[in-house]
Amino acid sequence: MKHRVQFIVMGAVLSIVMMNGCASNSEAVSDCFVTRQYKKLALPMFTSYIMNVASPDSGRIDVYCSLPYHRLHFEKTGNGFSGSYTFSVILRNDQGDVLQTKDVQRLITARTYNESVSSRADAFLVTVPAPAGKYTLDMKMVDDGSGLQYREQRKITARNFYTEKISVSDFLLLEHAARDTNGISLRPVFPTSLSLLKDSLGIFQEVYNLRAGDSVRVSFSYRAAKNAPPRPYGYSDPSALGYFRQFNPCSQEFDSTLYRNDSIIVASVNGTMQLIQFYPKPPERYVDIVRTIVRTRNGKSDSTVNSLKVLVTAPSFPDVLSAAEIAEAMLFLARGSETDSILSARTDSARFAVIAGFWKRHGGAEKMRAFLQRLRDANELFTACMEGWKTPMGIVYLVCGPPEYVDCQASLYETWYYSAGNTTLSIPFRLMQAGDDEPLYYELVPYSINDYSWQYFVDRWR
């Protein structure tokens, strides 16, 4: 079934998202990937981190949640600013029956307006009993002040840890661990905020079914993609965007080890061992964090493996401050000698000089600020296993802006349309086949762009 969604400007998109009483429009909008991304910018979007651990009964699901202040509606009070929201977790079985429901009410206070619109986040933990099996986890956030809500749904599998020879919980990423009157207090870090770590990353994990004297070897590594992803576009021809290579960087194999650490621990108790270990922070790239635990008992060994794929970005993300990245993005607007000067700049000072010279000739500081804002927006909207502005959708958004309307067929195909003078520019995308644990990645359909119409939008920046 095809849907057409009108986009005049981003504000119009967001107003469509927030309209009430338009069920058919809302349903159509939700089918388009780009519109779902726009909705995230307007709604109280949260970040969740789900961890399966053992409990006295059989198992449970720990849901760590984080909501940035700037996603929440605050009101002025006598002591500053206050906001509140309700977080709901619903656990369903394969038939859709509700098994568990939990609601959490949160009240947030900010001392200043700047704090209320900052990236500071409110974080908390919700636990849900979950015997072994496959479930759907519904998570919903409702902003009590604005009435806006955001919902996520995850397919999860809970394990029965006590029926396996060796079993371990999922691992929890840590910023730090501190001992207090209640024992050890863990401060989790969400995969999306790994870049904010200063120098080290902690891992918390539980190992089950141990006997005193068992030897436990913990191997930890960061893996990188087998081969560096080829650049999906070229710069030698201004129309090179129309000839993207078919390549999904999110489906690469990981086997090049960037860091590895092995440690051996002898269990001193029967039952459960809790591990807290710290390692160097992963590099800024798409990495696979792999943790292997080998239990040896009476000369026989059993092992288990956990992994997590994550994009580690610069701490300034989603803003683009690097001279190298800004210069690379500008290649889509440059021509002739401008392209040569950008590519030949090897130092930050040389790149900043080229950047300043380009915008001095093409609109000045105001145009440059608009371009940097587009870079930021593209990162917010389209980041997957690579920064959003580097994806095909991000590049089109960077040059052409929000589409005026979109045709989409479920989540498989999506075509953006723009008015280009007296003609129309249509840009078709298709979903690259992704695994269950891979982010959505859309490629540009090869040989699909009208070069003349594309240059119309490039010229608007010049």
pLDDT at 301: 93
The three-state secondary structure class of 388 is helix
List, in sequence order, every residue forming a beta bridge with 147; answer none if it has no partner.
Answer: none
**Exposed, middle or buried, 119 (CB in 10 Å: 0-12/13-18/19+)?**
exposed
d(CA 21, CA 30) in angstroms, rounded, equals 15
pLDDT at 435: 66
Structure tokens belonging to residue 34: 């780009």
- Coil, helix or strand for 103? strand
Distances (CA, A) of 115 to 112, 118, 197: 5, 5, 21
Cα-to-chain-centroid distance, residue 237: 32
Q: Show the tokens assigned to 115.
A: 């704090």
Break the chain down into helix, strand, coil percent, rounded to 5. 25, 40, 30
Specify the 3-state DSSP secondary structure of 15: helix
Dihedral (CA of 85, 87, 88, 94) sign: positive
The pLDDT value given to residue 217:
96
State pTM to two decimals: 0.85
Q: Which two tokens stand for residue 296?
A: 């040896």
Cα torsion 203, 209, 212, 218: sign: negative
Q: What is the rounded CA–CA span in Å between residue 55 and residue 366?
A: 57
Fold that domain 164-312 belongs to in CATH: Immunoglobulin-like (2.60.40)
| Cα–Cα distances in angstroms (integers) from residue 332 to residues 129, 275, 383, in the given order | 51, 48, 19
Classify burial at 422, counting beta carbons within 10 Å of its beta carbon; exposed 0-12, middle 13-18, buried 19 or more.
Answer: exposed
Strands (DSSP E) found in 353-451: 405-409, 413-420, 423-431, 442-444
For the chain, what are the domain ranges? 164-312, 323-460
Q: Helices in 191-256 by DSSP H: which ranges?
A: none
Amino acid occupying residue 228: A
CA separation, residue 183 to residues 52, 61, 171, 186 (Å) = 21, 22, 19, 10
Rounded-to-integer distance, Cα 224 and Cα 228, Å: 9
Region of residue 138 (phi > 0: left; psi between -120 and 50: alpha; otherwise: beta): beta
Indicate the residue type of 243: Y
Q: Mean pLDDT by 10-residue block, N- to C-terminus, for the chain (462 residues)?
A: 48 40 36 85 90 88 94 92 96 91 95 92 93 94 94 91 87 87 83 89 94 95 73 48 62 85 93 93 92 94 92 92 92 87 90 94 93 95 90 92 90 91 91 75 83 88 90
- Tell me 75's DSSP state: E
Instruction: Go through the chain and tell me how many residues it has.
Output: 462
Q: What is the per-residue pLDDT for 41?
A: 84
